[in-house]
Structure 1
């Protein structure tokens, strides 16, 4: 992306190059580095185990030590291996075992817990009972951590009202792939399903505002982090349930501006997810015709050879791009194993389909790390990429950690690091025109202080957010250029 360099930017670029062989100072540099967005972030997976255990203790809930699970009730005193969550503070061994069970911290395979993949996905059912009551606390934690990490915007995947959608799908069987008939059967239920989503989201945001003390002199920095939502549907149910979720999710995006897109989640290698993958893509295709303005970011290609048969690696990313018309792809790890991968990469570059890169997650779940990751392949092909966290609480990370992994694995320049940060906002689903077009500032903002630029950004929420990022870069570079800890 082209923008005339200032003296401070030149100094910062030089300092960044020297710090790539100094991990401690590089971490200090990147912690403060302005990060445009985290576009791939599951809220329930973003919460650290310590928070879930704290909330369980506050609620008087019980934990099952043998299973590493938070229970949805108080201890009865009759079951062995159970302990009040409040008692964990006095038992460090039990508390540490629970934290390890609810996250990837210190994970070591055992005969009964054989892989990072299985341990990772098992954590969600272990902490699920505490998640719904503390959605607002969770949102507050995500926003506070983003602020501490200098992340400007987060596009959170959440699933409010999911139970009603699942029930609707269970009671209205899908006849083959007659989606028009399914829509007619489900349409009378849509108003209540959407109202339930809005109500749960309202409650979550109100609770978060209270926790963050927004609007008071004690307001947390997290109050300043912009958040929008992707409605997160689950792919491991029968087709009628998946379609009901998607149909309601599209309607939520159409009717509630806080929701800017739809995604589909759960392990892609799951038997049902693999069996029904192509049908799910056709569901998106059918709903796109009814809701042409709804944007999609889809998990696709979170697979490796051996995890599924070779034919299972052949087309998931392509189908997400060509059939479902996804604007963004989450993970995309198996790109090299897709049929005509070279042609697909060229198509993604031409269509500007961005890939959400989750380096820590791909390491702990799939054991894909270092230069084995396709990050550099996508960039070589001209496919836009941005860094994201996936499930930073379960993975025990943050967005700075993702930038650190990238900077210490590939020979990235400071200019390229800024491009990764800017991409997070360029390919976000924030409404409005972008400040950037084909790597250049739009003509109205060649001078970002001009009246024409002020007029342009006044009409675009996205451009205003991007302009704030540029101002943050300027402040950061001024600070770095005059920081004796970072200078040579």
Structure 2
């Protein structure tokens, strides 16, 4: 492996703390040599020795730097317990079914705190109803699939509103605990989503897209500044809750965040198109929104029926807003879940529509031109966002049936992500443990995936690596210790986080070997 960056890695390790401090206000840290092959090999042996023990693996992998989580829905990242805590503070009550909550007024005995105190197993049932607790271990309800339980969980806590700041805080805290340095959160502002349903259910033809866009863009332009102000307030409240910018700042303050606007696919086509138009408008206007996605169950009736129309909508809007990047949920289907025709080309269509990343991609082996699609993804650097827990719970696809190794064998860039870690009762460390246990990945391959989580992100600015495989740096950082590199890092958020990731790898490996009493 050709790990050179033009300059000396040892020298880089000694200088990196000062460079990061100058470029991004990241505190200077200890100075282990960057990219020490012997040290990496020694840590790899620790991982191999723990491969058959999930608890031991988790202890080892919890502190591993994991780069970016590029497929993380803010609304699904929150645990039911957090939602219920916030609901209790707002006076919500448990509804008569015991499966969800409702706003006040309601009987005092059904107040969440009183309900919890008097009905322990009822509270357990409520949390189960608002998540997939148990399903990932095969302990779910016999008459409900993991797919159904997952998607209906959102309906059960969807009555809550106005909690975005607390959701941001909770999600960044989870990421910090998992040593994830960047979140690309699927998130919609309430201001924009509020008008989607009003588009009605009249049909729309591909020939009408231009005219409808012109009308929609003009009508809703006034909403974009309001949506930006909404996000300003939510981010400020979250930063205050974590004491960011003060001496008491939480580690979560260092987790960088950008957003993907998530258009809604399981709706009548006019509503889908309006959500896409609003998403492209927001991403074009606000640099915090680095791209657009399309979500909701891919196997839903309307999503299946209108899949090709949705791709036509996306192609049209991508031409209108060329700066807006796309990552598209595609291929989140499997054999038996949908009719065979719905397995033949969803990923291929998404790639053709301009997707720079594919979310899930679980059904690739069932596509008619699977090898051609993977060849194009490899050639054009179109990464696939792999969600192991999600795919296991929702689709029943796991272990040798999962296409992660197929993608890797065809040279497709792979990243690991959490999808909806709160509803799924998972976290990024669990995804890494599953990657080792179920997919046979090594420590070196996990490092590649962690780096890919930043390399294939939509982070603003240029990258650190001219060759991300051999880790050859751009000319400005041929020597990391130079002023030109410090200037480059200061002006490029992506490069800055990539540099910090290398430093974190060095610190992690040195610490793990010190704990193990090993010297390289």
TM-score (normalised: structure 2): 0.88
In the alignment, which residue of structure 2 is the partner of 1:115?
145
SS in structure 1 of the partner of residue 262 of structure 2:
strand
Matched, 1:100 2:98: no
SS in structure 2 of the partner of residue 302 of structure 1:
coil
SS in structure 2 of the partner of residue 260 of structure 1:
strand
In the alignment, which residue of structure 2 is the partner of 1:88?
115
Matched, 1:156 2:156: no
Residue 215 of structure 1, CA deviation: 2.5
Alignment match of 1:480 (pick from 512, 517, 520)? 512
Matched, 1:25 2:43: no
SS in structure 1 of the partner of residue 287 of structure 2:
coil
Query: Following the alignment from structure 1 to structure 2, what is the Cα–Cα distance between the partners of residues 165 and 339?
Result: 38
In the alignment, which residue of structure 2 is the partner of 1:409?
438
Residue 340 of structure 1, CA deviation: 1.6
Alignment match of 2:481 (pick from 443, 446, 449)? 449
In the alignment, which residue of structure 1 is the partner of 2:212?
182
Query: Following the alignment from structure 1 to structure 2, what is the Cα–Cα distance between the partners of residues 169 and 482?
Result: 60
Residue 67 of structure 1, CA deviation: 5.1
Unaligned runs of at least 5 residues, structure 2: 5-34
Alignment match of 2:365 (pick from 333, 336, 348)? 336
SS in structure 2 of the partner of residue 296 of structure 1:
strand
Query: Following the alignment from structure 2 to structure 1, what is the Cα–Cα distance between the partners of residues 519 and 125?
Result: 42
8 Å CA contact retained: 1:60, 1:86: no
8 Å CA contact retained: 1:140, 1:211: yes
Structure with larger RCO (C-alpha < 8 A, sep 6+):
2
Alignment match of 2:491 (pick from 459, 473, 478)? 459
Matched, 1:49 2:80: yes
8 Å CA contact retained: 1:15, 1:486: no
8 Å CA contact retained: 2:98, 2:122: no
8 Å CA contact retained: 1:25, 1:486: no
Residue 165 of structure 1, CA deviation: 3.4
Residue 286 of structure 1, CA deviation: 0.4
In the alignment, which residue of structure 1 is the partner of 2:331?
301
8 Å CA contact retained: 1:56, 1:86: no
Q: 1:132-162 deviations in whole A, cap 9, x for unaligned?
A: 2211101000001100110000000011124
8 Å CA contact retained: 1:165, 1:193: no
Q: Matches of residues 218-367 of structure 1 in structure 2 within 5 Å?
A: 218-322=248-352, 324-367=353-396
Query: Following the alignment from structure 1 to structure 2, what is the Cα–Cα distance between the partners of residues 92 and 119?
Result: 21
Q: 1:304-326 deviations in whole A, cap 9, x for unaligned?
A: 1111100110010000001x110
Q: 1:3-34 deviations in whole A, cap 9, x for unaligned?
A: 26414333223322222233322211100000
8 Å CA contact retained: 2:417, 2:428: yes
Matched, 1:371 2:400: yes
Query: Following the alignment from structure 1 to structure 2, what is the Cα–Cα distance between the partners of residues 486 and 45?
Result: 41
In the alignment, which residue of structure 2 is the partner of 1:3?
3
Matched, 1:37 2:68: yes
Q: 1:167 to 1:109 in 2, by over 3 A?
A: closer
Query: Following the alignment from structure 1 to structure 2, what is the Cα–Cα distance between the partners of residues 120 and 41?
Result: 15
Q: 1:140 to 1:312 in 2, by over 3 A?
A: same
Unaligned runs of at least 5 residues, structure 1: none
Q: 1:408-439 deviations in whole A, cap 9, x for unaligned?
A: 12332222110000000000000111122341
Query: Following the alignment from structure 1 to structure 2, what is the Cα–Cα distance between the partners of residues 168 and 283?
Result: 19
Query: Following the alignment from structure 2 to structure 1, what is the Cα–Cα distance between the partners of residues 435 and 177?
Result: 20
SS in structure 2 of the partner of residue 395 of structure 1:
coil
8 Å CA contact retained: 1:172, 1:182: no
Alignment match of 2:429 (pick from 400, 413, 421)? 400
Query: Following the alignment from structure 1 to structure 2, what is the Cα–Cα distance between the partners of residues 415 and 386?
Result: 14
8 Å CA contact retained: 1:15, 1:487: no
In the alignment, which residue of structure 1 is the partner of 2:411?
382
Query: Following the alignment from structure 1 to structure 2, what is the Cα–Cα distance between the partners of residues 94 and 103?
Result: 14
8 Å CA contact retained: 1:58, 1:86: no
In the alignment, which residue of structure 2 is the partner of 1:469?
501
Residue 235 of structure 1, CA deviation: 0.7
Query: Following the alignment from structure 2 to structure 1, what is the Cα–Cα distance between the partners of residues 239 and 67?
Result: 22
What is the total number of aligned residue pairs between the two structures?
481
Q: 1:375 to 1:65 in 2, by over 3 A?
A: farther
